[in-house]
Structure 1
Amino acid sequence: MLDETRAELLARCRAAQAAGMDFPTLWHEILRPSPLVIGPPIQTIRDGKLRLEMQLVSGERIAFDSTSNKILAD
């Protein structure tokens, strides 16, 4: 997975969610082990919605929207 791109990571996360995986499991099984992800999720609020944002080594972020329970390309 060292050569995995942000788009591929998002696709894996979305496929896991479609299969019924919740965020804590997604974090422990896909996001945390990924070499793209730096550190733990950071809780933020955007447009009045609670989100968990994950920083990537590229400087980009991906986010989990707790209202919609979806992984977002931030």
Structure 2
Amino acid sequence: MMLYRIYDEYSLKVIPAMGLLVAGEWSPYQYLVESIRKFPHQDKFKEMIESAGFQEVTYESMTCGVVAIHSGFKL
């Protein structure tokens, strides 16, 4: 969980600042961070995919839960 906290602080403070430095824009990168925070938790997203009709839905949690790769089949 420590890595998640580090990423959380990084995303709030560094990503928008880098956007300003590199692209001259703060707002789009702040929006990116906020939209990432609103994305459903891995288990909830799995349930959403299943309720949309996908089968054999799985996910692989990576980077201590900061990232996940979901997959499923819709036949």
Name whichever structure is richer in helix by fraction.
2
Name whichever structure is richer in strand by fraction.
1
TM-score, structure 1 as length reference: 0.30
TM-score, structure 2 as length reference: 0.30
